[in-house]
């Protein structure tokens, strides 16, 4: 039986278009999913939408659409962005899906209840709809939530609580022992410090009359399951947990890729729920930073929001994948501006990879026979350098991509220094050997490109198989 690999993105709120940050998470998940497929593993890649929230109710109202119509439209937009970005997901889970998602959530709730970890008590607090959370007096500026510029509501109600505090020690142990690995180390330390202070029990439901959407609490229809008790379960409900599906047995536990803002939910609440339910914890959490633009958080008011669709339309999806995979660190905040994007595109795709491919294939077309089929097969089978996968296994995606571009610059250097196009004219065999060696190296580059730039990888291999230069540059220069 081949090894399995399960990877998930967070489920995205469908209250607005997806931005560069969302594209980033999804692209790095895709790179990892493809790399594991390349290693011959059986991969399951999940993404989806977090629909049962008041944010969405408000956004639908603002758009003048009913919820279902609104959600269907926005989910279509998400899927169309993902398809342009060549995201090879296996399933798109929607939490409004009562057939596929709800049974898992209900099942988890019952397991928590059975462990004696659900209790009903009165709760009063300031609730910010934007945050979908209670916030404290000290978070307010002039009586308003500064982030959402609105007054929180004072809510008092009976809620069900989850006794998360009970699991503080166990969660800490699982993280310290590496049973649930948190990458990078700095995020692991951050969560350990939080655990050191102790976790509080958390409110896990809302009165049904305040939540127009959501999953009813089993045996108490006056309450609905609150955000995290619902959303986090997507990672296993999608695999058929609570519906008797085999996928769960096959793929759980897996790894989650998340942004730094939702670390606490994934590294404290989610493992607490799983421990209470007696289920295995995720193996790994990869926690990335935020994408900024010009050093600042992208925001509408600063006018520095970059729409991934705009970049795709201008430069192509592969260029976007390239930038995100190489020029953003998976562990820290990374910056993207229209200038930095254009510079990286021209230097490394138009001049770098694109130009090199044209030069090598022109020399090959003019001077050598096409590679025999057996040779191509042999090259396909040849192992990709271990170093490449080593970086990917450490989630140093940018360094794995650097390795490809290092080889690209080495090949450029070789051509410059040895001028095989001249040598072939005077010493035919020697020149031909140089050219066919370059073609083989280019084939290996195409293989490593597969998880990063899947379309370009195929294009380059095709050119090599047909022994011809591209009709037009792979990446046209942009002014
Ligand atoms: N719905 C929740 C997640 C529930 S998972 C069980 C949510 N959704 S979100 O749409 O607001 O954000 C999804 C992901 O995008 C999060 O991982 C978040 O960190 C990431 N990003 C949001 N803005 C970002 C940047 N500017 N840069 C990088 N990632 C960012 O949270």
Q: Which atom of ligand 1 is nearest to the CA of 232?
A: 6
Specify the higher pLDDT residue, 302 or 132: 302
What number does the ligand 1 atom closest to the CA of 292 have? 26
pLDDT at residue 335, as a whole number: 95
What are the b/e assignments for 79-96, b being 16+ CB within 10 Å? eebbebbbbebeebbbbb
Mean pLDDT of 30-46: 97
Residue nearest to atom 6 of ligand 1 (CA): 232
| Res. 183 pLDDT band, cuts 50 70 90 | very high
Average pLDDT estimate for 436-454: 98
Report the residue among 7, 8, 9, 10 best suited for mutation to probe ligand 1: largest number of ligand atoms under 8 A from its CB.
10
The pLDDT value given to residue 142: 87
pLDDT value of residue 148: 83
**Torsions phi, psi of 405, nearest 5?**
-75, -20
Mean pLDDT of 394-419: 98
Taking only the tens place, the pLDDT of each residue in 74-115 is 999 999 999 999 999 999 999 999 999 999 999 999 999 999
Please write the tens of the pLDDT for every residue from 43-84: 999 999 999 988 888 889 999 999 999 999 999 999 999 999
Which residue has the CA at smallest separation from atom 21 of ligand 1? 21
Looking at residues 228-234, what average pLDDT do you find?
A: 95
- CB of 324 sitting under 6 A from ligand 1: no
Tell whether ligand 1 has an atom less than 6 A from the beta carbon of residue 78.
no
Q: Residue written as tokens 């998360």?
A: 164
Q: Is 10 in the pocket of ligand 1 (CB under 6 A)?
A: yes
User: Which of the four pLDDT bands, split at 50, 70 and 90, describes residue 156?
Assistant: confident
Average pLDDT across the chain, whole number: 95
Say yes or no to pLDDT of 133 above 80: no
- Non-local CB neighbours of 47 within 8 Å, separated by 6+ positions: 8, 9, 11, 12, 26, 29, 82, 87, 89, 91, 92, 93
Query: 168-176 and 185-197 helices cross at what angle (nearest 10)?
Result: 160
CA-to-CA distance for 181 and 255, rounded, in angstroms?
9
How deeply is 260 buried, as exposed, middle or buried, from its count of CB atoms within 10 A (0-12, 13-18, 19+)?
A: middle
Segment 375-382 shows an average pLDDT of 94
Q: Which phi and psi angles does 153 have, rounded to 5°?
A: -95, 145
Query: How far apart, in whole angstroms, are the C-alpha atoms of residue 180 and residue 52?
Result: 28
- Tell me which residue of 276, 278, 279 sits closest to 239, measured CA to CA: 279
Query: Is the pLDDT assigned to residue 131 strictly greater than 80?
Result: no
In this predicted structure, the answer to whether residue 352 has a pLDDT above a threshold of 90 is yes
Buried b (16+ CB within 10 A) or exposed e, 425-450: eeeeeebbebbbebbbbbbbbbbbbb
CA of 130 to the centre of ligand 1 (A): 14
Mean pLDDT of 389-406: 98
State yes or no: pLDDT of 302 exceeds 90: no
Spatial contact of 311 and 202, defined as CB atoms under 8 Å apart = no
User: What pLDDT, on a 0 to 100 scale, did the predictor assign at position 200?
Assistant: 93
Output the pLDDT for position 125.
84
C-alpha span between 173 and 171 (Å, rounded):
5
User: What SS3 string covers the chain?
Assistant: CCCEEEEEEEEECCCCCCCHHHHHHHHHHHHHHHHHHHCCCEEEEEEEECCCCHHHHHHHHHCCCCHHHHHHHHHHHHHHHHHHCCCCCCEEEECCCCCCCHHHHHHHHHHHHHCCCEEEEEEEEEEECCCCEEECHHHCECCEECCCCECCEEEEEEEEEECHHHHHHHHHHHHHCCCCEEECHHHHHHHHHHHHHCCCCEECEEECCCCCCCCEECCEEEEEECHHHHHCCHHHHCCCCCCCCHHHHHHCCCEEEEEHHHHHHHHHHHHHHHHHHCCCCCCEEEEECCEEECCEECCCCCCCCCCHHHHHHHHCHHHHHHHHHHHCCCCCCEECCHHHHHHHHHHHHHHHHHHHHHHHHHHHHHHCCCCCHHHHHHHHHCCCCHHHHHHHHCCCHHHHHHHHHHHHHHHHHHHHHHCHHHHHHHCHHHHHHHHHHHHHHHHHHHHHHCCCCHHHHHHHHHHHHHCCCCCCCCCCCCC
What pLDDT is recorded for position 15?
Answer: 87
Residue 137 has pLDDT above 90, yes or no: no
What mean pLDDT do residues 258-275 have?
Answer: 97
Ligand 1 neighbour 25 (Cβ under 6 A): yes
Q: What is the mean pLDDT of residues 210-218?
A: 90
Residue 391: pLDDT band with limits 50, 70, 90: very high
Give Cα separations from 19 to 22, 309, 311, 379, 443 (angstroms).
Answer: 6, 9, 11, 38, 34
Share of the chain above pLDDT 70, in %: 99
10 pLDDT band, cuts 50/70/90, is: very high
Beta-bridged to residue 160, according to DSSP, are: 120
């Amino acid at each position: 039986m081949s090894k399995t690999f399960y990877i998930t993105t967070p489920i995205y709120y469908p209250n607005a278009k997806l931005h560069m940050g969302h594209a980033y998470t999804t692209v790095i998940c895709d790179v990892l999913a493809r790399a594991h497929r390349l290693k011959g593993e059986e991969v399951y890649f999940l993404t989806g939408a977090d629909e049962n929230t008041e944010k969405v109710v408000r956004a639908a109202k603002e758009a003048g659409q009913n919820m279902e119509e609104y959600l269907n439209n926005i989910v279509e937009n998400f899927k169309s962005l993902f398809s342009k970005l060549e995201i090879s997901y296996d399933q798109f889970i929607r939490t409004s899906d009562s057939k596929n998602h709800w049974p898992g959530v209900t099942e988890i709730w019952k397991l928590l209840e059975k462990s004696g970890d659900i209790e009903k008590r009165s709760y009063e607090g300031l609730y910010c709809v934007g945050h979908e959370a209670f916030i404290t007096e000290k978070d307010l500026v002039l009586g308003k939530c500064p982030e959402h510029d609105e007054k929180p509501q004072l809510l008092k109600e009976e809620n069900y609580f989850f006794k998360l505090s009970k699991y503080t020690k166990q969660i800490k142990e699982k993280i310290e022992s590496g049973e649930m690995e948190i990458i990078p180390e700095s995020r692991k330390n951050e969560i350990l410090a939080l655990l050191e202070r102790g976790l509080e029990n958390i409110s896990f439901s809302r009165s049904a009359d305040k939540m127009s959407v959501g999953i009813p609490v089993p045996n108490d229809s006056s309450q609905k399951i609150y955000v995290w008790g619902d959303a986090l379960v997507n990672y296993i409900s999608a695999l058929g947990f609570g519906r008797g599906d085999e996928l769960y047995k096959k793929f759980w536990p897996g790894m989650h890729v998340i942004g730094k803002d939702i670390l606490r939910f994934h590294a404290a609440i989610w493992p607490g729920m799983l421990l209470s339910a007696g289920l295995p914890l995720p193996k790994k959490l990869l926690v990335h930073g935020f994408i900024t633009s010009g050093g600042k958080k992208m925001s509408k008011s600063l006018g520095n929001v970059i729409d991934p669709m705009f970049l795709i339309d201008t430069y192509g999806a592969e260029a976007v994948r390239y930038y995100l995979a190489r020029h953003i660190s998976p562990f820290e905040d990374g910056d993207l501006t229209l200038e930095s994007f254009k510079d990286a595109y021209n230097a490394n795709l138009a001049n770098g990879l694109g130009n090199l491919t044209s030069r090598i294939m022109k020399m090959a077309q003019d001077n050598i026979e096409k590679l025999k089929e057996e040779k191509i097969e042999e090259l396909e089978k040849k192992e990709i350098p271990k170093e490449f996968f080593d970086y990917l296994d450490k989630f140093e995606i940018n360094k794995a991509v650097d390795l490809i571009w290092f080889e690209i610059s080495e090949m450029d250097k070789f051509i410059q220094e040895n001028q095989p196009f001249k040598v072939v004219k005077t010493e035919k065999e020697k020149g031909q050997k140089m050219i066919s060696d370059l073609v083989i190296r280019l084939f290996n580059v195409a293989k490593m490109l597969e998880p990063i730039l899947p379309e370009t990888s195929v294009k380059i291999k095709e050119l090599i198989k047909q022994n011809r230069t591209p009709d037009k540059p792979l990446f046209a220069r942009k002014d």
